[in-house]
C-alpha cells in the first residue's frame, strides 16, 4: 500500500471528509496539521497554492473533491461503472452546493445581507434533503446507490456543518437521512476516529461524536 | 447505447464542456436549449433545481462536474484506475478555480472592487498555467496523463472564457498549453462541432472556432 500524508490546517474544513474516509477504510495516513506560519513557507511549493494536499508516496495532489473521490475509491466506496459514479458525483454536487451556501452566510461581512443568505441556505438544504430523503428511502438507507458510497460519509460531515450554521437539528423531518447518518456513525473505523479526533478549535455546539 | 438529452439555456455556460465532450466522441445527444420562461415551469421538476441536466434514457442527472466526468468516461477520456482519475480530477479542480475567479469578476456589481478581483484572477490563472505548462511538457502535450483526457477538452473551453474575461491571449507564454489546445481543436468530432455550433448570444470577442 502506498504511504499517505494529508496536509491541512488544524481545522475540520475541507480535510475532515478525507480523514473520515481514510478512517472508514482503516487506511493508515499521516494527518499533518500545519500552522498559518508554516503555510506561508509551504504554499509556493504546492501544486496550485491550495490546501488540502494529499501526498501519495511523497507526490503531492491537490483539490479536495479530487481527493474525496480517490480516497473513496481506495476504501471501496466508489461505483462499479460510470453510471454509478454519475449518481455518486451528483450527490457530491448537491452537498457542495449546501456547503457553498453555508460559507457565504458564515463569511458575510454585511449584517444587512445575512437574513437573505440564511433564507437561501434554508431553501437550498431543504430542497436537497427532500430529494435525498426520497432517494435514501428507495436505496434502503444509502444516498446514491443501494449500498454505501463515499457520499454517505460526506453527508454526515455536511450535516455537522449545517446543524452548526443553522442551530437546529436539520435531520428531524427526514427519517431516511437519519438512517444514512446512523449507518455511517455505527461503522467501526468511523467510530474509532470520532472517539479520538482532535478537538475542533472552532468549538462548535454540535459535533458528530455526540451521536455515537 | 442509451439516449442522451442535455438540457440547458441557449448559452455556453456549464453545458458547453459537455457538448464538446459528446462531440469529441461523436456520441449523439439532444442539445435542448430552453428559455428562462420554460425554466420557471421545469425547475420544480428537476432533481435539485439546477441546470444543466443530462437525461439518460429519460432519467435526469444533475451537477455539471458529475456530468463532465460521466461523458468523459463514455467517450474514453477517463483514467484507468483511481490514481489516474485523481490526476484528472485535480486538473478539473484547477480549471474550476479559474472559472470561479472569472465569474466573481464578471458578476461583481461594485466597480471599486473590480481591480482587486481582476488581479486575483490573473494570479490564479498564471499560477495554474505555470504548473500545467510543466505538466503538459512532461506529458507530451496533455494535461493530466500522457494521453488525452477529458480535462484537455475542459481546458480549451476554460481558455475561451479566460481570454474573453481578460481581453488578451493568455496562452502566448505557454507553448505546451498551446499544444494541448491545438490537439483538442484538431480532433475530428470537436472540429465538426465547432464549425456548426450555435452562435453565442453573448457575442464574445474570441471563440474557439477562430483557431480551427
Domain count, chain A: 2
Phi, psi of B132 (to 5 degrees): -70, -30
Q: Does A42 touch chain B (CB under 8 A)?
A: no
3-class DSSP state for residue A157?
Answer: helix
Same-domain check for residues A48 and A90: no
Among the partner-chain residues B49, B70, B85, the one whose CB lies closest to the CB of A69 is B85
For residue A46, pLDDT beyond 90: yes
- Let me know if residue A66 belongs to a domain: yes
Same-domain check for residues A149 and A181: yes
The answer to whether B89 contacts A65, with C-beta atoms less than 8 Å apart, is yes
Same-domain check for residues B53 and B96: no
Work out the burial of residue B209: count CB atoms within 10 Å of its CB; fewer than 13 is exposed, 13-18 middle, 19 or more buried.
Answer: middle
At B88, which CATH number? 1.20.1050.10
For residue A210, pLDDT beyond 90: yes
- Let me know if residue A207 belongs to a domain: no
Interface-testing mutation among B1, B52, B85, B86, with chain A (most A C-beta atoms within 10 A): B86
Domain that holds residue A109: 82-187
- Let me know if residue A209 belongs to a domain: no
Where do the DSSP E strands lie in chain A? 4-9, 30-34, 53-56, 59-62
pLDDT digits (tens, 9 = 90+) for B76-89: 999 999 999 999 99
Same-domain check for residues B96 and B181: yes
Q: Which residues of A touch B49 (CB under 8 A)?
A: 127
- Let me know if residue A183 belongs to a domain: yes
Q: What is the pLDDT of residue A105?
A: 96
ipTM for the assembly? 0.93
Spatial separation of the C-alpha atoms in residues A203 and A65, rounded to whole Å: 25
Same-domain check for residues B101 and B169: yes
At A46, which CATH number? 3.40.30.10
pLDDT digits (tens, 9 = 90+) for B90-122: 999 999 999 999 999 999 999 999 999 999 999
Q: What is the pLDDT of residue A198?
A: 87
Tally Cβ neighbours within 10 Å of residue A3. 11
Q: Of A21, A53, A7, whose CA–CA distance to A155 is shortest? A: A21
pLDDT > 90: percent of chain A: 98
Same-domain check for residues A87 and A180: yes
Same-domain check for residues A88 and A59: no
Q: What is the pLDDT of residue B198?
A: 87
CB pairs under 8 A between A and B: 95
- Let me know if residue B201 belongs to a domain: no
Same-domain check for residues A112 and A18: no
Same-domain check for residues A113 and A176: yes
Q: In which residue are the cell numbers 434514457 written?
A: B57
Q: What is the average pLDDT value for chain A, to the nearest integer?
A: 96
Which chain B residue lies closest to A2 (C-alpha atoms)? B83
Cβ contact B121:B105 at 8 Å: yes
Which chain B residue lies closest to A82 (C-alpha atoms)? B70
pLDDT digits (tens, 9 = 90+) for A164-191: 999 999 999 999 999 999 999 999 999 9
- Let me know if residue B200 belongs to a domain: no
Spatial separation of the C-alpha atoms in residues B158 and A180, rounded to whole Å: 37
- Let me know if residue B211 belongs to a domain: no
- Let me know if residue B17 belongs to a domain: yes
The answer to whether A48 contacts B87, with C-beta atoms less than 8 Å apart, is no
Given A58, A76, A94, the domain boundary residue is A76
For residue A1, pLDDT beyond 90: no
Given B76, B109, B131, the domain boundary residue is B76
Amino acid at each position: 500500500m502506498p504511504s499517505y500524508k494529508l496536509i491541512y490546517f488544524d481545522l475540520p474544513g475541507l480535510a475532515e471528509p478525507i480523514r473520515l474516509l481514510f478512517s472508514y477504510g482503516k487506511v493508515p495516513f499521516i494527518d499533518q496539521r500545519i500552522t498559518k506560519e508554516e503555510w506561508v513557507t509551504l504554499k509556493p511549493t504546492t501544486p496550485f497554492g491550495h490546501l488540502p494536499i494529499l501526498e501519495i508516496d511523497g507526490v503531492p495532489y491537490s483539490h479536495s473533491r479530487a481527493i474525496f473521490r480517490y480516497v473513496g475509491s481506495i476504501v471501496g466506496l466508489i461505483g462499479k461503472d460510470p453510471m454509478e459514479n454519475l449518481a455518486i458525483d451528483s450527490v457530491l454536487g448537491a452537498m457542495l452546493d449546501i456547503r457553498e451556501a453555508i460559507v457565504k452566510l458564515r463569511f458575510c461581512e454585511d449584517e444587512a445581507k445575512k437574513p437573505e443568505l440564511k433564507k437561501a441556505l434554508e431553501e437550498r438544504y431543504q430542497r436537497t434533503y427532500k430529494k435525498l430523503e426520497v432517494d435514501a428511502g428507495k436505496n434502503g438507507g444509502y444516498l446514491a446507490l443501494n449500498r454505501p458510497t463515499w457520499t454517505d460519509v460526506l453527508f454526515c460531515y455536511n450535516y455537522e456543518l449545517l446543524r452548526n450554521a443553522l442551530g437546529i437539528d436539520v435531520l428531524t423531518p427526514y427519517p431516511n437521512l437519519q438512517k444514512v447518518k446512523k449507518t455511517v456513525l455505527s461503522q467501526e473505523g468511523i467510530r474509532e476516529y470520532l472517539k479520538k479526533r482532535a478537538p475542533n478549535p472552532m468549538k462548535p455546539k454540535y459535533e458528530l461524536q455526540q451521536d455515537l
